[in-house]
Amino acid sequence: MSAQEKQNFAKRLDLRGLMCPEPVLRTKRVLDGKPEGAIEVLVDTDINVMNLTRLANSLGLFLESEEREDGYQVVISSTESGSPTSPASQSRPEHNHGDAPGSKSAKTVSNQAEGTNTHTKTNMVLFIAKDTFGEGDRDFSVNLINVFLQTVLQAGHKPQAILLANTGVRLMDPDSSVSKVLNEFKEAGTDVFACGLCVEFYGLKDKIAKEQITNMYAICEYLFSADKIISP
Amino acid sequence: MRVLCGNHDADKMTTSNHESSRKLTANVKAAGCAAKISSLALKQLLSSLPRQNCPQLLTSLDNFEDAAVYKITEDIAIIETVDFFPPVVDDPFLFGRIAAVNALSDVYAMGGNPVIALNILCFPTCDYPLEVVEEILKGGHAACAEAAVTIAGGHSIQGPEPVYGLAVTGFINPRSILTNGGAQEGDVLLTTKPLGTGVMLLGLKGDSLLEAESKQLLASLTLLNKGALEIAKKYQPSAATDITGFGLIGHTTEMALASGLSAYLYMDKMPFFAGAVRLAGQGFVPAGAYGNRNTFGPSVINLKHIDIAVQDLLFDPQTSGGLMFALKEEPAMRLLKELIDSGLTASIVGGFQLGEPGAIEVRK
């Protein structure tokens, strides 16, 4: 990190001495305010660095860390750092390893998307209240919603949650062709929830995992806290 | 009261956040079972102690059992365990209840019936009003009353960080002990609670849970494993344990090692708490999970093929976790149904196969 870059930090946080989850929370609060430019965070354990790496990944941001005598310096930015880094250190996205932040005094650069930074940083929720994409031939319309969800996933959009209500809950039936892509979203960190009343009404109670069933209260929480709601 | 007690390190830690200095979890470095000493360090510690020979002792330190079993007659053995940890939640009654439910669980994990318990308490009476201690003890009593366990006494000391738990004594028939070492090739692995308490508790501490999420979490943390054991006993499981500080992978590894088998886990069947994958992905991962990864990660096959948040949750240390049973597939399906019908979050998460003992294969 050159002295010139140091002057350019939009914000500097000294979070040494704070206990988990404070460093993540305080950094998240600053990042949620969408600072213009890179922020510098000082923490005192490698655990903090690893947790901040996950935070940066979840927001589609880049993170660099460096071990120092008095702890770790972490730089988080929306673009790859101005400092020239070797192509090798950029090519490996963090989501494929959970190792300590490099070897001693190593420098790591990570970004969730392979070489791209197209993730939306807004809190986006997909609200699906029927098991078809528009109205039309039934099989075709079910197939369309499958194609839609796969496209969303492949495009690298990362909704915070996918909420299924009314006949939409049928998409979570393990026998449905759409359940596979919903599981992939779940694995990628999206909360996938079905409305409990609907699951019961359509007789899917035994087919959908209990922990993926939620109530109208939680659905409202998601919808009202979302920056963007997409309902195909 | 604080003034009389002078300056503490604990106060200095939170000078930038006076609000939280009154919270029970404010000064806790590692909460719940996440506070456990790592498996590697523990093994080293135990190996340095001289071996004792006791023919009546039916359990061995080598197999990482949940509780010690001492045989009295052919039909009766005493089962003994102790468990305590620093606050995992700010509500003292709730903390007491969770700590007691967690301590009692070790007896259930061996198939035993707890009867009496002793309180273990360490508390900085300078930092909190005495009513807080009272509430913690009341919470412990409530859990014991629900389990039909009598609290017969206890011991308390002053200390910088609150700690509460129980020493529990129970009875068990020596012929029906459920150990880590009984799993058979072809058995499946069934769990009885959602997974991810370590991550969720950090999220709770950081006020980052939706109301529905914290409700699910607290309901699970305060749920006795008594009911799950009573149902499971009818299906004669070949091995059992409870999932605690070493996380799902750690406890599966121990069961596999003790049974001389390798294990596999299905990633699409993992009963994670609602919100757990989101929180782990945002970096709410306790230090204990990284410790477990260091200990158990090297013997996990295909780990890197799965999402890192899911990996973290496999290593996540569990506080007041559920029971885990190994049994044949056919009775397991019937047991699964009965557990779910009784309102539990039961899941079949994997199984055992021939292979390198203790190795765990992660399947998508």
- Same domain? A171 vs A198: yes
Find the mean pLDDT for residues B174-181. Answer: 91
Extended strands (E) in chain B: 68-71, 77-85, 113-123, 150-158, 163-172, 188-191, 239-242, 262-266, 300-301, 323-327, 347-353, 360-363
- Same domain? A14 vs A98: yes
From the list B27, B307, B345, the residue facing A188 with the nearest CB is B307
Q: Any CB–CB contact under 8 A between B10 and chain A?
A: no
Which CATH fold topology does B9-30+66-175 show? 60s Ribosomal Protein L30; Chain: A; (3.30.1330)
Q: Shortest CA distance to A125 belongs to which of A160, A165, A172?
A: A160
Q: Does residue A194 belong to any structural domain of this protein?
A: yes
| Helix axes of A22-32 and A46-58: crossing angle, nearest 10 degrees | 30
Instruction: Report the share of chain A in percent with pLDDT over 90.
Output: 32
Sign of CA dihedral A163, A166, A167, A169: positive
Q: Structure pTM? A: 0.71
DSSP summary character for residue B18: G
Q: Predicted confidence band at B22 (pLDDT cuts at 50, 70, 90)? A: low
State residue B17's pLDDT score: 36
**How far apart are the C-alpha atoms of B244 and B318, rounded to whole Å?**
4
Return the bridge partners of B31, or none. Answer: none
Residues 187-226 of B with CB under 8 A from A: 194, 202-203, 205-206, 208, 210-213, 216
Specify the number of domains making up chain A: 2
- Tokens representing B318 are 């569990």
Q: Any CB–CB contact under 8 A between A174 and chain B?
A: no
Coil vs helix vs strand at A77: strand
Chain B residues within an 8 Å CB radius of A19: 13, 27-29
User: pLDDT (tens digit, 9 = 90+) per residue, B296-349?
Assistant: 999 999 998 899 999 999 999 999 999 999 999 999 999 999 999 999 999 999
Q: Any CB–CB contact under 8 A between B285 and chain A?
A: yes
State residue A196's pLDDT score: 85
Domain range for A222 is 124-230
CATH at residue A136: 3.40.1260.10
* Highest mean pLDDT, choosing among A29-43, A125-139, B348-362: B348-362
- Same domain? A14 vs A88: yes
* Amino acid present at B296: F
* Domain layout of chain B by residue ranges: 9-30+66-175, 179-363
**DSSP H or E run through A64:** strand A62-68
The reply to whether B33 belongs to the active site is yes
Contact A211 B271 (CB under 8 A): yes
Return the bridge partners of B272, or none. Answer: B195
Residues 297-316 of B with CB under 8 A from A: 297, 304, 306-312
User: pLDDT (tens digit, 9 = 90+) per residue, A56-91?
Assistant: 999 999 999 999 988 999 999 987 654 433 333 333
- Is A18 within 8 Å of B26 (Cβ atoms)? no
Contact B285 A186 (CB under 8 A): no
State residue A119's pLDDT score: 37
Max Cα–Cα distance, chain B, nearest Å = 64
Contact B203 A21 (CB under 8 A): yes
Q: From A110, A143, A165, give the residue that closes a domain.
A: A110
- Same domain? A56 vs A139: no
- Same domain? A55 vs A154: no
- Same domain? A144 vs A51: no
ipTM rounded to 2 decimals: 0.80
CATH number of B179-363: 3.90.650.10
Q: Predicted confidence band at A4 (pLDDT cuts at 50, 70, 90)? A: very low
Q: Predicted confidence band at B36 (pLDDT cuts at 50, 70, 90)? A: low
Contact A47 B304 (CB under 8 A): no
User: pLDDT (tens digit, 9 = 90+) per residue, B110-163?
Assistant: 999 999 999 999 998 888 888 999 999 999 999 999 999 999 999 999 888 899
- Between the two ends of chain B, the Cα-to-Cα distance in Å is 56
**Is pLDDT above 80 for B58?**
yes
User: pLDDT (tens digit, 9 = 90+) per residue, B81-102?
Assistant: 999 999 999 999 999 999 999 9
Find the mean pLDDT for residues A182-194. Answer: 87
Chain A residues within an 8 Å CB radius of B309: 54, 189
Find the mean pLDDT for residues B24-30. Answer: 72
Q: Does residue A119 belong to any structural domain of this protein?
A: no
Peptide bond preceding A21 in cis form (omega within 30 of 0) = yes
Selected catalytic residue, list B33, B54, B122, B144: B33
3-state secondary structure B271-319: CECCCHHHHHHCCCCCHHHHHHHHHHHHHEECHHHCCHHHHHHHHCCCC
Q: Predicted confidence band at A219 (pLDDT cuts at 50, 70, 90)? A: confident
Q: Any CB–CB contact under 8 A between B273 and chain A?
A: yes
